[in-house]
Structure 1
Amino acid sequence: MDQGRRVVDSEKVWASLITKTSYLQGLLTLHHSLASSGTAYPFVALYTDSLPQEARAIIAARGIPLQRVDYLKPGGGGRDYKADPRFEDTWCKLSVFSLTGYERVVLLDADMLVRRNMDELMELRLDEERRVIAAGHVCSCNPLRKPHYPADWVPENCPFTSRHADPEAAQTEGEDLSTRPLGLLNSGLLVVAPSAARYAEVLARLETANAGWVFPDQELLADVFRGRWVPLPYVYNALKTLRWRGVHDGIWRDGEVRNVHYILSPKPWADADGGKGNEEETYRWWWAADRERRAREEARGIFDALSASQMRLDRPSL
C-alpha cells in the first residue's frame, strides 16, 4: 500500500499510531479532545497489520480516517524491552516520515489529552538544515528511580530543571540542545514534514539500531537529527510527571498546558479510580473527556464496547 497517498483532503493532519487494542480507548479520547479544541485540521489513525479488524471497525464507526503504515523494527532485532514492553511497537512511529502525501504531520501518542488548541504547530517553521523536526524534551529526572534508566538521568541534568528560575519562560521556550541528556527528545509529539529523503535516513539508522538504547524511537531520532530539531516548550507535550510535587511542579501551569502526556503506568483508561496522589487531577481531566466522548457517541447512535464504557479488549501491558 502506498503510504504516500492521502486519506483526507488536507495537506496538514494530526495523526496517532495504534498497533494494539490496549490503546484504543486512549486514541478515541485523544481524537475527541482534539476535536473539542476547535482544530481546523483533520485527524488520521495510523495502524499496522497487527491491529485487529474489530478495533479498526470501532475507529471507522466514529468517522476517523484510517491509514495503514508498515510495521518497523530494527534490522538486528535490537534491545529486549521486557522492562518496558510499551516500547516494543514504538519503532513504528518512525513511519510518519513516509507519509509524503502530506506537507505536515503532527504525530501524537494515543496516551495524550489535548487541553487547548495548538493549531500553531501546523505553521511552525521547519527546514532541511537545523529545523528538520520539532519535539519536546525528555524529563531526565527519573522520579520513579527505575534501575534500567541511564545513570545520567538525574534532576541536575534535566532540561526542565534549568527553567525553575524562570517559570514564565518555560511556557513559551524550549531548552538548549547542547549536552546529553538535554539533547534527547520525547517522541510523544512530533512535528514532521514527511519526505522520502528523511524516511530513508531514518530507515538506514534503524538497520543498525543501538541495542543499548533504553528509549527506542526517540533515541534514534535524537541520534539522526542531533542538533537539527526544534525544542518545543513543555506545554505541547506536558509529561504527567512534571506536575508531580517535587519534580517540576514549579513550572507547570494548568492553564497554559495544551496537551497532557500520560507517560508510564497506569494509563488513565486502566485506572478506573481516576488516579491517586500526584496523578489525581490530571486523571480526572482524562476521565471527564472520556465520559463526554461516550455520551456524545451514544447520542449519535454509536453503541459498542467503548461507547458504553464496557471495554472488554485487552488491557495495556505495562
Structure 2
Amino acid sequence: MSRYVFEYAPLTNGNRQRRLFWFFTVLAVFIVIINVLAVNRLYVSPSPLDNFQKLNSLSSVYKSSYSVRSDSIPFDIPSKEERAVLTTIYSESYYAGVLTLGHSLQATNTSARRLLLYIPDRLSPQTLCRLEAGGWELHSIPRIPPPAGGKGVYPRFLDQYTKLQIWGLDKVGVKTVLYIDGDTLVRQNFDELWSLPFNFAAVPDVYTDRRGFTTSFNAGVMFLRMSSAVMEDMLSKIDTAKYKRLDAEQGFLNVYFAMQVIRLPFIYNANLALKRRSPGLWKALEPDMRIVHYTITKPFSETRTHRDLDAAQAMQMQNNMLREQGHADGGLWAEEMGWWDAVWRDTIKTLEYQC
C-alpha cells in the first residue's frame, strides 16, 4: 500500500512580505479616503440652499418695508440722504484701506452718504479726524461678540459679527445701503444699484481651490434695506443657526438670506480670486468693473499701523508694501496694486494738511 506523506511547510518570507504589503496598502487607501472625506467636510460644506433653514419670512422683492406686504404700495427710490455707501473699521490696520476707499467713492461721484461704523476705543483721535476729513460720516457702534465665545471662528473674523449692526441704521434715517469692505476700491460709479427693487443682493463667491464658483455669496459687497427688527431677529439666531462658524458672519448671512438673496454680477465685487481662477474672465470684466475687492492680497498691511508714524514714514511703509505685493505671485497683481496706489497717492495729497 502506497504511503503518502503530506508535509505542511511554514510560510516563507516571500508569502509573509506579500501579505504585509497588501495589508498596509489597503490600510493606506482607507486612511486616504477618511482624510479626503474629512477635508471635504471641512472645506466643501453644503451650499446654503442644500443646508436650507427657514430662519426668516422676508420677501425678496421690496414692497415698502420688511413688515408690509401690500402690493398697492409703489416702489420708491430712496433720496440721497436716505441711501448710504457704508463700510466698517475695527482696527488701525485698515486705516489706509478705508481712507483710500473713501477717496475712490468721491472720485466716482457716488450719490449717497458715506457712513463709517467703528468700535469705540479702537482708533486714535488722529485716525478718526483723518477719516472724517476724507469724507466719512462717523458712527460709533457697540461690538457684537461672536457666538460661543468665538469658538470655531477664524481669529481675524472675531469682530465681524459687528457688521450686523448695519441693519439698525433705519434709526438714523437710512433706508438703503450698499455695504463694501474696507479692502475694496471703487473704479466706476454704481448709482444704478439704488433702483434695485429687492431687499437683499450680493455677488456669488469664488475660490481658487476645488470649490471654484459657488452659489453662496461674498459678504464683502451687499445691497440691503434697513430694518432694526431684522437685526434683532438675526442676533437672536446666530447662536442656534447651523452654518460654518469658520466663516463668521458671512456663513450666517448665507443661511439667513439663502432664499431671498438676489445675485449681482461680478463687476460689483471683482474679487481677486476671480483673476487667479479665470484670468480670461477677469480681463473680460475689467471695462465694466465697479468695485475691486483685494481678498487674496492687500495693498496695505493688516499687521502694521500708521498710529506712530509721521506722513513720510507712513508713505514709505505703504510704498514698500505695494512694491512687495506688486511682485508677489510673479507679478500677477501688479496692475491691481497700481490702481490702488494711484488713488492712495491722490488721497494723501488731498489730506496732506488735515489733522
Indicate the TM-score class for this superposition, using the shorter chain for normalisation: 0.7 to 0.9
Larger radius of gyration: 2
Aligned counterpart for 1:194 among listed residues 198, 210, 226: 226
197, 212, 216: which one aligns with 1:125 = 197
Letter in 1 for 2:169: L
**Residue 248 of structure 1, aligned match among 278, 293, 302:** 278
**Alignment match, 2:322:** 272
- What do residues 52-95 of structure 1 show as CA deviations (whole Å, max 9, x unaligned)? 232222222334210122211234224344xx433222111111
**1:84-123 to 2 correspondences below 5 Å:** 84-100=154-170, 101-123=173-195
The match for 2:350 among 277, 293, 296 is: 296
CA–CA distance in structure 1, aligned partners of residues 292 and 204 of structure 2: 14
Per the TM alignment, residue 195 of structure 1 is displaced from its structure 2 partner at its CA by 0.4
How many angstroms does 1:201 deviate by?
2.2
Distance 1:231 1:275, change over 3 A: same
SS at match of 1:91: helix
CA distance in 2, matches of 1:211, 1:250: 33
Change (3 A) 1:185 1:291: same
The aligned counterpart of 1:286 is 340
For residues 228 and 211 of structure 2, the distance between their equivalents in structure 1, rounded to whole angstroms, comes to: 37
Deviations 1:108-138 (A, max 9, x none): 1000000000011122111xxxxx3111111
Alignment match, 2:143: 71
In structure 1, stretches of 5+ residues that fail to align are 1-7, 127-131, 143-152, 160-181, 305-318
Q: Secondary structure at the match of 1:189?
A: strand
Query: Highest relative contact order (Cα 8 Å, sep 6+), 1 or 2?
Result: 1
Check the 8 A contact 1:78/1:211 in 2, yes or no.
Answer: no
Q: Which amino acid letter does the alignment assign opposite residue 300 of structure 2?
A: W
Q: Write out per-residue CA displacement over residues 241-285 of structure 1, whole angstroms, 9 at most, x where no aligned residue.
A: 2123xx1222222111110000133x1023231522221111110
Query: Residue 210 of structure 1: CA displacement?
Result: 4.9
Q: Distance in 1 between matches of 2:157 and 2:241?
A: 14
Q: 2:205 aligns with which of 138, 149, 152?
A: 138
Cα distance in 1 for partners of 2:347, 2:136 equals 14
In structure 1, what is the Cα distance between the partners aligned to 2:111 and 2:337? Answer: 27
The code of the aligned residue for 1:139 comes to V
3-state SS of 1:110 partner: coil
**What is the aligned length?**
249
Which segments of 5 or more consecutive residues in structure 2 lack a partner in the other structure? 1-78, 302-320
Counterpart of 1:34 (choices 105, 119, 126) is 105
Amino acid at match of 1:92: T
TM-fit CA distance, 1:50: 4.3
Question: Does the residue aligned with 2:346 lie in a helix, a strand or coil?
Answer: helix
- 1:220: how far off? 0.4
What is residue 17 of structure 1 aligned with on the other side? Answer: 88
Alpha-carbon distance in 1 for matches of 2:186, 2:294: 11
1:220 aligns with 2:270: no
Query: Could you tell me which amino acid in structure 2 is paired with residue 141 of structure 1?
Result: T
SS in 2 for 1:71: coil
Structure 2 residue matching 1:254: 3-state secondary structure: helix
The TM-score with structure 1 as length reference comes to 0.73
What is the alpha-carbon distance in structure 1 between the residues aligned to residue 89 and residue 227 of structure 2?
Answer: 22
Task: State the AA in 2 paired with 1:202.
Answer: M
* Percentage identity across paired residues of the two chains: 29
| Cα deviation, residue 9, structure 1 | 7.7
Measured in 2, the distance between the counterparts of 1:200 and 1:35 equals 33
Aligned Cα RMSD in Å? 2.0
Q: Which is richer in helix?
A: 2
